């Protein structure tokens, strides 16, 4: 019984040693560029000043925009949206993506009631 436990322990330790071998470290990648430090610095400055060549409209220059909406109409829509108490409610912020009924009814009533 003692011998079988000893053999099992030795076998498990051999498996652990075999599985614990790590990769060897081969160092940093070798340098493949022949440019000097100053050449790379000037290339970096040039690239930083030219901007992103792959951006949309980078070489288009100033683009004009012609709007067909009336300024007063846009302002009126913005004021109406700013005064809407339910405009900022996002249904995803509530349980099961549904705005509770308490939020749906207006809190301010513009009707007057007779006092008794």
Sequence spans of domains, the chain:
71-104
Average pLDDT over the chain, rounded to whole? 77
Tokens describing residue 89: 């409610």
| pTM over the 0.85 mark | no
3-state secondary structure of 24: coil
**Tens digits of residue pLDDT in 37-70:** 999 999 999 888 887 777 776 667 777 888 888 9
> Looking at residue 27, what DSSP letter applies?
-
Span between the terminal Cα atoms of the chain, in Å:
99
**Tens digits of residue pLDDT in 75-100:** 999 998 888 877 777 778 877 777 77
């Amino acid at each position: 019984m003692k011998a079988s436990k000893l053999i099992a322990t030795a076998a498990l330790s051999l498996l652990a040693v075999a599985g614990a071998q790590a990769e060897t470290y081969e160092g940093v990648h070798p340098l493949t560029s022949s440019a000097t430090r100053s050449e790379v610095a000037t290339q970096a400055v040039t690239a930083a000043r030219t901007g992103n060549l792959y951006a949309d409209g980078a070489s288009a220059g100033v683009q004009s925009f012609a709007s067909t909406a009336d300024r007063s109409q846009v302002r009126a829509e913005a004021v109406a949206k700013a005064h809407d108490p339910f405009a900022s409610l996002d249904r995803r912020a509530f349980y099961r993506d549904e705005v509770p009924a308490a939020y749906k009814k207006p809190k301010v009533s513009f009707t007057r009631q007779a006092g008794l």
